[in-house]
Amino acid sequence: MTRAARESKLQRFERLAQKRVTEALRRLRLVGNLSNRANYEYSDDHVKQLTEALETELKELKNRFRQEGAGAGHTFSFRK
């Protein structure tokens, strides 16, 4: 019997959520490492754009759980 056949929807959600949230948190910490001015140069506008993109995506994630809707994925690049 396959894992999907043995696993309930709740179990699958918990297993995948734990893995995906852990990875998302790790990657957010990597973005946070960019704040080290000894290694990087950036403006307040860069920080504003970066944090706005992250906050927007988090708001969309919350809305998807409230509405059971699948939103479009977004990418990020700095505006010039």
Single pTM value for the model: 0.76
**In 35-69, which positions are buried (b, 16+ CB within 10 angstroms) versus exposed (e)?**
eeeeeeeeeeeeeebbeeeeeeeeeeeeeeeeeee
Q: What is the pLDDT along the chain (80 residues), one digit of tens a residue?
A: 677 678 999 999 999 999 999 999 999 999 999 999 999 999 999 999 999 999 999 999 999 998 865 556 677 777 87
Separation in Å, CA 19 to CA 14, 62, 69, 70, 73: 9, 18, 21, 20, 19
Residue 6 pLDDT:
87
Rounded to 10 degrees, the C-alpha dihedral 11/60/62/57 comes to: 80
